[in-house]
Amino acid sequence: MATSMARRFVVEACVAAMAFALLAAPSSGQLDPHFYDKACPAALPTIRRVVEEAVAAEPRMGASLLRLHFHDCFVNGCDGSILLDDTPFFTGEKKASPNVNSVRGFDVIDRIKAAVNAACRGNVVSCADIVAVAARDSVVALGGPSYNVPLGRRDARTASQSAANNSIPAPTFSLDRLASSFASHGLSLQDLVVLSGGHTLGFSRCTNFRDRLYNETAALDGPLAASLRAVCPRATGGGDDNLAPLDPTPARFDGAYFTSLLRRRGVLHSDQQLFAGGLGATDALVRFYAANPDAFRRDFAEAMVRMASLGPLTGASGEIRYDCRKVNYS
């Protein structure tokens, strides 16, 4: 009987060990920076080449590709849904309020997809992964930090204009609403501050800062306000698409965004909300990153990895689109 019990113990122990091993082993649904190493080792160098060409031709494109990734991930996860054109079956995200006449870079993604398909000799790399890698390569091209992008996302077969309207933080948001939006995606207050630092790159349209310009004069640096009024008239509709840089060095990844906030020179209401000059948590983070640009670079890279891992489709979910603008059956 003792022998029988011993055998049973050994069998149960082996079963338990096997079960633990299965749970501990990486699942097919996990993202991996080396996902394409064997399937197509030319994929990432090809993405980098096309991004570098696009950013060299128009430095603003780097910020646009970074923003495209952010707007993709904040709507049902990083699934490439922002790239889909409208169809008779759904109204996509391109015409949502945060995106229409604003989000750009779709043509660059198209060029990358064509180049990657040629390099891989087939449809191997998802559009969602292309957006994620293009954002990283854009940051690097403009002097920012590199980081390992987790890969293996698949592409959504649908998109939602209403989800985009409800999920992407607006430039008019208060600090509380910004924090709530990020928290709904599992991102912390520090992630909010450091990812907002992506506004060290690029420009904003007049329509996004007009209200701050004319109604928040006490919270806006006077000389900056004067320069902004030259490109953004008070009347709604006049000059809506005129651009102003989000910080003094819009084509260089640096800490100028945070030093601007310290001087009340945040162009967007949502940006200046991070620093009110008090003792709040975001005030302390803004001061810290303004004084420690290397820490900003490190923490930005880490936060980008967290954001890039939001709600991916993996395994048998979704598809790998042949054309990033439409699902494969259309």
Q: Which residues are annotated as a binding site for Ca(2+)?
A: 72, 75, 77, 79, 81, 93, 200, 247, 254
C-alpha to C-alpha distance for 201 and 248, rounded to whole angstroms: 9
Residue list, annotated binding site: 72, 75, 77, 79, 81, 93, 169, 199-200, 247, 254
Residue list, annotated binding site for substrate: 169
CB 146 within 8 A of CB 79: no
C-alpha to C-alpha distance for 51 and 30, rounded to whole angstroms: 26
Assigned token pair, 314: 């993996």
Among 231, 174, 173, 169, CA closest to 204:
231
Which of 34, 69, 71, 269 is the catalytic position?
Answer: 71
The alpha carbons of the chain give a radius of gyration, in whole angstroms, of: 23
Among 63, 310, 300, CA closest to 192:
300
The torsion defined by the Cα of 272, 277, 283 and 287, in degrees rounded to 10, comes to 100
Q: Classify the C-alpha dihedral 108-80-168-176 as positive or negative.
A: negative
Tell me whether residue 69 is one of the annotated catalytic residues.
no
Q: What is the DSSP letter of 192?
A: H
Q: Could you identify the residue written with the tokens 């490190």? A: 298
CB 317 within 8 A of CB 78: no
Assigned token pair, 238: 């006049």
Among 247, 246, 242, 218, CA closest to 229:
242
Q: How far is CA 117 from the centre of its chain?
A: 23
Side chain identity, residue 40: C
User: What beta strand segments (E) does the chain contain?
Assistant: 203-205, 243-245
Write the DSSP assignment of 164-219 as a string of letters. HHHHSPPTT--HHHHHHHHHHTT--HHHHHHHHGGGGB-EEEHHHHHHHHHH-GGG
Catalytic residues: 71
